[in-house]
Structure 1
Amino acid sequence: MYLFIVNTMSGNGKGMKVWKRIESMLQKRQVHYLVEFSASPTHTAELVRQTAKKHKIKVLAVVGGDGTVQSMIHSVIGRNIPLGIIPAGSGNDLARGLKIPLNPKEALHYLLTGGTGKIDIIQIGNQYCMTVVGIGIDAKVAQTVNRSRYKKWFNRLKLGHLAYVLSFIQVLTHYRPVKATIKVDGKEWTFPKTWLIAVANFPNYGGGMIICPGACYFDGEFHICIVDGLSRWELLRIFPAVYRGKHIYRSGVTLLKGKTIEVISDSPMPAHGDGEIMGETPMKIDILEKGLSVICHD
């Protein structure tokens, strides 16, 4: 049986609209499914746990965004239940990374016809995420986006990524870079004016920004991007290049690779994973190789 978890709040109501589009398709195809509706990450995780006790779940299908998927990792990790995604969020970076179509009808076809594969996931203590852990200004941007009123208007116009752009410009005016030390598999680097540290399992985040073009979710290591030593104006100038992954060739950008990452800083730097705030530095980040089953196509 397919279990569909629909986040009714995802994408400012987009989750419910997407569900209404695919529900008739499921009935037409005579797919055996159960649907549960949720409005919060805590409720979502509880629904999965309770349903898994009562039913044999073939696939856990999420109708929502990256944050909705993140909230369910705890519930499926260690279980033999593959995760499928019908994207209905603002950024949908996880769907992009897995090459899941953003169109609901095409995403459902992908879900029903795909195979099962194992992917790496990110672990921070007892928390998990899938795409990128962003530390510094990008975490502040994610926090600002999630609290903003304009996010829902951009979502309605199908321009959710522009909420990140506007928030970046807002945050840039007052955010201060700090001295940070990063240890990668025991080797240490120090950066005196650190704007951001992105620890990537997937290439993209923030609604399509290609922060680490070489990142791969099944190679057993992180790609890390550090932006340091730039003025506000210089950072603003290279920002558009992130959408093409071309920022990596600019001065002030350092790329590293590794499995275990530790970050400490002179003052706490906020951190997010999959767009959701996950604490602040000091922080240790590990890779859990092949930690999650997902529906995918070769």
Structure 2
Amino acid sequence: MICFIVNGVAGNGRGHKVWKHVERLLLEKQIDYYVVFTEGPKHATNIARELAKQKNANVVIAIGGDGTLHEIANGLAGSEIPLGSIPAGSGNDFARGLQIPKQSEQALEKALSGQKRKIDIAHINHEVFINVAGIGFDAQVAKVTNQAKYKKWLNRLGLGAFCYVFSFFKVLFRYQPTEVRLVIDEREHTFTDVWLVAVANTPFYGGGMIICPQAQYDDGLLHLCIVHGISRWKLVTLLPRVFFGTHIYDDAVTILTGRRIKIMSSTPLTAHGDGEILGEPPLELAIKQEGLYIM
């Protein structure tokens, strides 16, 4: 059985529009399917977990954004059921990282007839994330973005990827950098005046920002980007470079890799995984190789 999990409100209603288009394609192709619409936070996780428990789906295809995929991955991780994606969110960074087409028809074809394979996933305090987790400035920006009214209007204009940029400037002048201690595979690192620590399984987050250009979903490693010892003005000038991945050559950026990571901070900081707010340090993160099947 093919199961679709649809977040109709993703992308300010784009999820519903994409589903209607996909539904017509399924009828034209005479493909049997089952569909469930999410009704609130964590609902997609519960649906996916039940499907994995009952083992009554051949593939689960998500129609939504990275938040929807984050939830479904938490339900399917460790099972034999592969996850397919038809992008319908604001950023769609998971689709970008796995080269899933933006066009619904092509994405559907790939989800139905593509190759089943395993990818790495990661855990942050026992919750799965598939793209990027982070603490500090970027997590606060993610939090503001999720709550912002302008997110709805930018999505309507097809400019959802700019939500992060708008929120960046909203947070910029109030945020205070702090000291962060990292333990990476038993090696300790301390950084002062830290703006953010991003931990990546794939290169992209924030609607196309290439935060860790070398990150790959099948290399068995987590890639860290630490931005520290930089003024607000310098942070602003660094932002455009993140869309090209060239920020990593700046002296204010440190890139590290590891399999198991502990993050501690001298002051309370917001943490996120795939843009979903998950709490505060201390945090423990670990890579889980081949932890999720995808199409």
Amino acid at match of 2:33: Y
SS at match of 2:43: helix
- Give yes or no for contact 1:22–1:105 (8 Å, CA) kept in 2: yes
| C-alpha distance in 2 between matches for 1:277 and 1:174 | 19
**2:52–2:79 contact (8 Å) kept in structure 1:** no
Matching of residue 118 in structure 1 with residue 114 in structure 2: no
State the TM-score, normalized to the length of structure 1: 0.96
Aligned to 1:214, what secondary structure does the other structure show? Answer: coil
Matched residue, 2:294: 294
1:186 & 1:15 partners in 2: Cα distance? 43
1:153 matched to which residue of 2?
A: 153
C-alpha distance in structure 1 between counterparts of 2:20 and 2:50, whole Å:
24
Q: Paired residue for 1:142?
A: 142
Could you tell me how far 1:206 is from its partner in structure 2? Answer: 0.4
In the other structure, the counterpart of 2:256 is: 256
Q: Alpha carbons of 1:121 and 1:245: their partners in 2 closer, same or farther (altered >3 Å)? A: same
Matches of 1:73 and 1:271 in 2, distance apart? 19
Matched-pair contact (CA < 8 Å) for 1:6–1:62: yes
In the other structure, the counterpart of 1:20 is 20
Aligned mates of 1:177, 1:48 — CA distance in 2: 38
| Aligned residue identity for 2:23 | E
For the 8 Å contact 2:263–2:284, the answer to whether it is kept is yes
Q: Quick one: distance in 1 between partners of 2:54 and 2:183?
A: 44
Q: Confirm or deny: 8 A CA contact 1:213 1:245 kept in the other structure.
A: yes
* Structure 1 residue 240, shift from structure 2 partner: 0.5
8 Å CA contact retained: 2:182, 2:190 = yes
Distance in 2, matches of 1:269 and 1:257, equals 22
Q: Which runs of 5+ in 2 are unaligned?
A: none
How many Å separate the matches in 1 of 2:251 and 2:265?
Answer: 22
Aligned to 1:93: 93
How many equivalent residue pairs?
Answer: 295
Quote the offset at 1:55 in angstroms: 6.8
Q: Give the Cα separation in 2 of the matches to 1:180 and 1:279.
A: 16
- Asked if 2 retains the 8 angstrom alpha-carbon contact of 1:97 and 1:202, the reply is yes
3-state secondary structure, aligned to 1:16: helix
Q: Give the equivalent residue in structure 1 for 2:37.
A: 37
Q: Which residue of 1 aligns with 2:232?
A: 232
SS in 1 for 2:99: coil
Q: Which runs of 5+ in 1 are unaligned?
A: none
Instruction: Give SS of 1:261's match.
Output: strand
Shift of 1:74: 2.8
Query: CA deviation digits over 1:46-94, x for unaligned, max 9?
Result: 3334455667211000000111111122321222100000111111000
Q: 1 CA distance for matches of 2:45 and 2:27?
A: 26
Using the TM superposition, give the Cα deviation of residue 102 of structure 1 relative to its aligned residue in structure 2, in angstroms.
1.1
Q: What TM-score results when the alignment is normalised by the length of structure 2? A: 0.97
Letter paired with 1:159? L
